[in-house]
Structure 1
Amino acid sequence: MNQPLWLQVTIERSPEPDDWSPWIEVLERWNCQSTLETADPPALVGYISWATSPDRQRELEGELRKRGADSVRFEEIVETDWSVEWKKHFRPQRVGERWVICPSWEVVQPEPEDLVIVLDPGQAFGTGDHPTTRLCLEELERCDLVHRSAWDVGCGSGILSIAARMRGAVPVLGTDVDPTAVEVARANAERNGVEVEFRVGEGVERERRDGGWEVVVSNIISATLTRLAPNVFSVLKPGGVWITSGIYEGNVDDVRTSAVRAGFEALRQETESQWAMLSFRKPSNS
């Protein structure tokens, strides 16, 4: 039996853009499952869960070049290669004061106060290696989550949903538009012995909960955050917190402005390697 093929798309642009989101948006429309950035040379690499015809590849290349890409390369890779590549680069790592992110194929000896998340990302985003994930984990560590409801919008591997539950949040919901990510997240929650509901979700406006949510986490691209701000505001309880990341520093003002315009109060900004985390609160009198 032939192994499933993935289409690896490598996009280069000089000088390196401050924000890859215009190209990420194109890839997402083509059912891109995951993206990563490389430093040498500066590039965006995306993985699409099918191998396609040369004509379709030229169509995708045309869309990417319209956004300013200097070069676009395609390579077909097999499913087993994908798994091997993750294992080459994913090692146990410490995040913040207490988090330890450990691949399922590794063993660590944690300190007494450590919170260990055992993870197999599979084809889903979220290993703790990317600055946006680390920034969210650090903010979840700072928040009082005990007995507070939490919703992870764009859950990927489930790492942030699992982290919220470990910090005492209940109930916890994780949603993603990618069914594969939801399957991966469920397996990771089971692996860590935590109860989290994961399901495929189309967006904040379609996912409601009586009484509202107390914490919403969204580690997604800036353009989506600005669009979602009014909807997130509507599903949060008064006093609820919205933790956002996936934001290039150059887009911080846009995200903050959209959130404040929706009614939020700005709480905190943290940055790492040109990426930012912004947290907001819905006023108690809202």
Structure 2
Amino acid sequence: MAWLQLHLATTEAHADAFQSALEDMGACAVTLTDGADQPVFEPPPGARPLWQNTVVSALFDADRDPALILAALQQQGLDAQAHHHETLDDQAWERAWMDDFAPMRFGERLWIVPSWSESPDPQAVNLKLDPGLAFGTGTHETTVLCLEWLDRTDLQGKAVLDFGCGSGVLAIAALLLGAGNATGTDIDSQALTASEDNARNNGVADGLSLYLPENLPADYRCDVLVANILAGPLVELADQLAGYCRAGASLALSGILAEQAESVRSAYAPWFDLNPTSQQGDWVRIDGVRRKTE
């Protein structure tokens, strides 16, 4: 069976109306994607942000006439800024999606392995993780930078804080790499749920504590802190994050674009001896050690 896929360029203000109309016309699926390379970062809980330029793509049975669909949309006052369509051959869509995610290696010891794949190295540290709702499957440069850092950091028996934990991938990796315990915080309760589920799937749930940031105990202190969020919040939270770190604690910060590195380094320099900035693509990691004396 073949399918008709129709792509419609519109704006953030009209995307929902297009989606609703296409679903009413019998679309089997409707997806919204970025039409102008404008990433949306960390929306507040419950928010559904869209891009200023949004492409609405709808999947119909192959015998539908795209011209009639466009005419019906126009009758409802919905004129796409641009449009095109294509015919898609039927395939095993679930398998095609799964094939996009293969086991990935980080550093010397650590692999992230989807549940449907065999580990390339059964003797390695294998973290089982499937793509999901919360950010952090290990595919983004910022996550890669943090995972590689964790892989080469001495974590044995140490207390690790994953600030902005998302799917919990960094906290879980730390536990699998030998950390004594890990704590994860995130502003989104869905992320905490995802982290708990992923920790359970990897057999480390007993070692992971999860909190909304405001509920993290005031006297909490860690030996290792990793924060993969954004440069703005990292700068604003520098004093708070430094306060969580014991003297001699290791720190890794990411979610930082290369041009933002100096502002983040300046914010943490009063407390930490920082190593040279590491970069992958457009993104960087800043890491260092909490000074023993002020």
Aligned amino acid, residue 91 of structure 1 = A
**Residues 229 and 124 of structure 1, relative CA distance in 2, 3 Å threshold:** same
Aligned to 2:16: none
TM normalised by structure 2 equals: 0.70
* Deviation readout 1:133-188 (Å, 9 max, x if unpaired): 11111111121111111110111111110111112212211121222221121111
Picking from 148, 156, 159, the partner of 1:138 is: 148
**Residues 210 and 130 of structure 1, relative CA distance in 2, 3 Å threshold:** same
Give 1:267 deviation, angstroms: 2.4
3-state SS, counterpart of residue 197 of structure 2: helix
In structure 1, the gaps of 5 or more residues are 33-47, 49-59, 66-70, 78-82
Q: Is the 8 A contact 2:169 2:195 kept in 1?
A: yes
Aligned to 1:259: 268
3-state SS, counterpart of residue 214 of structure 1: strand
**Residues 210 and 202 of structure 1, relative CA distance in 2, 3 Å threshold:** closer
Aligned amino acid, residue 107 of structure 2 = G
1:175-190 → structure 2 map (5 Å cutoff): 175-190=185-200
**Residues 251 and 108 of structure 1, relative CA distance in 2, 3 Å threshold:** same
Aligned to 2:41: 24
Give the number of aligned pairs: 233
Aligned amino acid, residue 126 of structure 2 = V
| Higher gyration radius (CA) | 2
Give 1:278 deviation, angstroms: 0.7
Aligned to 1:239: 248
Aligned to 2:85: none
Picking from 102, 108, 130, the partner of 1:120 is: 130
Q: Establish whether residue 283 from structure 1 lines up as the match of residue 291 from structure 2.
A: yes
How far apart, in 1, do the equivalents of 2:284 and 2:277 lie?
Answer: 7
Q: Is the 8 A contact 1:121 1:184 kept in 2?
A: no
Q: Establish whether residue 105 from structure 1 lines up as the match of residue 116 from structure 2.
A: yes
Q: Is the 8 A contact 1:176 1:202 kept in 2?
A: yes
Picking from 157, 179, 203, the partner of 1:193 is: 203
Give 1:254 deviation, angstroms: 1.2
Give 1:266 deviation, angstroms: 0.8
3-state SS, counterpart of residue 213 of structure 2: coil
Q: Is the 8 A contact 1:266 1:279 kept in 2?
A: yes
**Residues 200 and 258 of structure 1, relative CA distance in 2, 3 Å threshold:** same
Q: Is the 8 A contact 1:95 1:128 kept in 2?
A: no
Q: Establish whether residue 269 from structure 1 lines up as the match of residue 277 from structure 2.
A: yes
Give 1:122 deviation, angstroms: 1.7
Please, what is the CA RMSD of the aligned residues?
Answer: 3.0
3-state SS, counterpart of residue 24 of structure 1: coil
Q: Indicate the percent of aligned positions where both proteins have the same amino acid.
A: 30
Q: Establish whether residue 170 from structure 1 lines up as the match of residue 180 from structure 2.
A: yes
Aligned amino acid, residue 192 of structure 2 = V
Aligned amino acid, residue 215 of structure 1 = V
Q: Is the 8 A contact 1:10 1:74 kept in 2?
A: no
Q: Establish whether residue 159 from structure 1 lines up as the match of residue 183 from structure 2.
A: no
Q: Is the 8 A contact 2:45 2:187 kept in 1?
A: no
**Residues 7 and 109 of structure 1, relative CA distance in 2, 3 Å threshold:** closer
Aligned amino acid, residue 122 of structure 1 = G
